[in-house]
Structure 1
Amino acid sequence: MVQHLFQQFLRWPLLLRILLIALSVNLLFGIFITFVEPKTFPTLFDGIWWAIITTSTVGYGDFSPTSLGGRIMAIALIFVGVGFISTYFITLAKDAVKTQSAYLEGKATYSGKGHIIIIGWNERSREVISQLMSFQQQCTIILIDESLKENPYKDYHVHFVKGTPFKDDVLRKANLSGASKVIITADQNKDETTADMSSVLTLLAIKGNMPTLYTVVEILTDEQIANAERAGADEIIQTNKQTSYVMMNSIVSQGMSKAILKLLNNLKGNNLRLLPVSTEWVNLSFEDVSILLLKNNILLLGIKRGENTDVNPPLHVKVELEDELLVIST
């Protein structure tokens, strides 16, 4: 029985074991000193108080043994107790530094819920994190990347996990099961095809663990769009195609890229959004709803009906209750 309890004790965290030993030493010496010198230490609390003050090296001097036996106990307490107390605080400091290093180097596991996971470190993910932090102050972001050596953010809202994103142990460190959304960005250190294959593989790993988790993936090549859809992507962003559209419009209409960039800058945060249809708007025309929204400085751009989004539809199109309105608000 004693051997079993000792083995269980050895499995406890080192910090807890040292603390219990130190407390036990103080308690025992505090009890013994009341028997050795009952006049100097009239109560049990006085003895324990003296033991703690002695091992902590504070030494108030309000209680001190006067007999030979009491002083021998004090010497033993100093040699034994101070050693354990010092070891406890050294171990405590060491664990604090180790924990801090683990968070900084991406080795710590996140245990919260409702967070957003962003995979890949690049200018796109940097901008997304910046926007999320300014738009949602209490939003916790988990950044997964295998190339970073340490967390680029010191803010506690950004938790860094270092590792290959399609590995289950890395996803568990990011607490995938508790996440609200996942954004997968293309790896800038790989060629486009390889980056897309890596993104699709990461998507498969995420959907394999959490099929219902809303996932947005960046795809660079047209050939991998179908694979991303098969893997279960909820949204696919084709950054190369969007960039080519801007470049083409700049060729046809000089200065268009500046106008588009200005428009995008005005869409930071939640200015561009999908607005649910209010019951009083049902069966009104696109034109009528647009006029109503303009009174509140909301610009109506289009209608999302199911999986299809119609931008600038005919003015006579009727709005249905199940629709969502694509709007820009101030």
Structure 2
Amino acid sequence: MFYLIRISRKIIKLNNGFLVLFTAIFVLGSATLMYLIEPETFGMWFNALWYVMTTVTTVGYGDYYPKTVPGKLFAMLLYLFGIGLLSLVIGKIIDGFGTIKKRKEAGKLKYHGSGHVILIGWSRRAQSAMEELLHADPSLDVVVIDDLERSPVDRDRAYFVGGDPSAESTLETAGLTRARSAIVFSDRNIDDAALADGKSLLIASSLERLAPHIHTTVEIVLEQHIQNFRHVQVNEFILSHEAVSRLAARSALHAGSVSIFTQLLSSKVGEDVFEVRPRPEWKTYGDAFQGLLNLGATLIADRSDMTINRRLQDPMPEDARLFIICDGSTYERIRAAT
């Protein structure tokens, strides 16, 4: 019994891969040995394998059983050693799943997908952005990066990576180079606006250095700090406090206008903003405007240029990026036709 305990302790410490290999060799070897001991009883090697598997996993079905003394002695060895070995393997597998779950909750698992959106800095604003992204595109994955100890997300297609968001190792774990875009949210735990925007600048610099090809959006606290980002290729800026203040002012000046912005900002309600590819027959902005209007959509901009509706006779460049306002079903019809 003492030797069995020592052997068991050594087996428990074995590498998981080696343990699985050892178990497979043990089962196959036991089946071969049992068949050699009693070839008449089992008839073929596969029947011996069937007997070994049913013996180490259950009490056996009784369709095959050893009839000689050597066969019965070997069966007793299977009872003592085989059942315990297989139970250990199953326990290791279950423990492995538990370890994976713990690592996932701690944000230590590497994300292997591509075409995802990375949200840096967890907050209520980041949560709202995540919900909007997941609702707008059912095939999109979202990866959240923050230095929290446990994952704050519990949604399908939402993943968490823990660590310093400016560190290269953390960004690599989140699959930055394979991402579609990244959004940097201002750290609300920092009261000083300069320090908060400084942290955002540091993160944006890391994004630009490691993945200059992805679309980057950065939330900043003060508008005058945008010039400090001039050496970093940030695609778009969001002003956290000013945006709310300006919406409130618009509401006071033009009653009901806020509901229009709310519709455009949410894919859950009303109309949305979409990008469409130009068609060959659209030679001017007027052609595009009328063609889209006939399909139920309104052309509003070419990239950030919203003056095109006053220049409908101007020729449309080949690299135009047209933005329209319509509902989801209309957009799907337009996309299918282009």
Shorter-chain TM-score range: 0.7 to 0.9
Query: Bigger CA drift: 46-55 or 270-279?
Result: 270-279
How many equivalent pairs are there?
310
C-alpha contact 2:142 2:158 (8 A) present in aligned 1: yes
Of residues 96-105 and 134-143 in structure 1, the stretch that sits farther from structure 2 once superposed is: 96-105
Query: What is the TM-score with the length of structure 1 in the denominator?
Result: 0.83
Alignment-derived partner of residue 186 in structure 1: 186
**In structure 2, distance between residues paired with 1:172 and 1:194:** 25
Tell me which residue corresponds to 2:258.
260
Task: Give 3-state SS (helix, strand or coil) of 2:39's partner.
Answer: coil
How far apart in 2 are the matches of 1:312 and 1:245? 24
- 1:324 and 1:173, CA in 2 relative to 1: closer, same or farther beyond 3 A? closer
**Residue type at the aligned position of 1:87:** L
- C-alpha distance in 2, partners of 1:22/1:316? 75
Query: 1:3-152 to 2 correspondence within 5 Å?
Result: 14-147=15-148, 149-152=150-153
Structure 2 CA distance, aligned partners of 1:284 and 1:20? Answer: 67
2: distance between equivalents of 1:319 and 1:148?
Answer: 55
Give the TM-score normalised by structure 2. 0.81
Q: Is the 8 A contact 1:277 1:321 kept in 2?
A: no
C-alpha contact 1:106 1:161 (8 A) present in aligned 2: yes
Among candidates 319, 324, 327, match of residue 327 of structure 1: 324
1:143-184 Cα offsets, whole Å, 9 max, x none, are: 1122362242231x1111112211111111111121111111
Q: Rate the CA distance shift 1:310–1:36 in 2: closer, same or farther, 3 A.
A: closer
Alignment partners' CA distance in 2, 1:44 and 1:168 = 55
Q: CA deviation at 1:299?
A: 2.5
Aligned counterparts of 1:169 and 1:219: Cα–Cα separation in 2: 24
Partner SS, residue 19 of structure 2: helix
Secondary structure of the structure 1 residue equivalent to 2:213: coil
Identical residues among aligned pairs (%): 24
Which deviates the most, 69-78 or 276-285? 276-285
| Superposition deviation, residue 199 in structure 1 | 1.2
Aligned partner of residue 166 in structure 1, secondary structure: coil
The whole-number CA distance in structure 1 between the counterparts of 2:232 and 2:19 is 51
Residue in 2 that maps onto 1:5: none
SS at match of 2:170: helix
Structure 1 position 81, deviation (Å): 1.2
Q: By how many angstroms is 1:40 displaced?
A: 2.3
Question: Aligned partner of 2:95: which letter?
Answer: K
- Between 210-219 and 261-270, report the one with greater CA deviation: 261-270
SS at match of 1:309: coil
Q: Is the 8 A contact 1:217 1:237 kept in 2?
A: yes
Deviation at 1:134, TM superposition (A): 1.6
- Separation in structure 2 between the aligned mates of residue 261 and residue 18 of structure 1, nearest angstrom: 63
Equivalents in 2 of 1:197, 1:31: separation in Å?
Answer: 69
Range with bigger deviation, 112-121 or 236-245: 236-245
What SS does the aligned partner of 1:273 have? strand
SS at match of 1:230: coil
Structure 2: any 5+ residue segments left out of the alignment? Answer: 1-10, 328-338
* One-letter amino acid of the counterpart of residue 23, structure 1: A
AA of the residue aligned to 1:75 = M
Paired amino acid for 2:263: N
- CA distance in structure 2 between the partners assigned to 1:130 and 1:68 by the alignment: 68
Q: Which moved more, 1:271-280 or 1:84-93?
A: 271-280
- Whether the 8 Å contact between 1:219 and 1:237 is mirrored in structure 2 is yes
Looking at structure 2, the residues matched to 324 and 78 of structure 1 have their Cα atoms a distance apart, in angstroms, of 71
Identify the range of structure 1 (47-56 vs 35-44) with the bigger mean alpha-carbon deviation: 35-44
Cα distance in 1, alignment partners of residues 144 and 292 from structure 2: 37
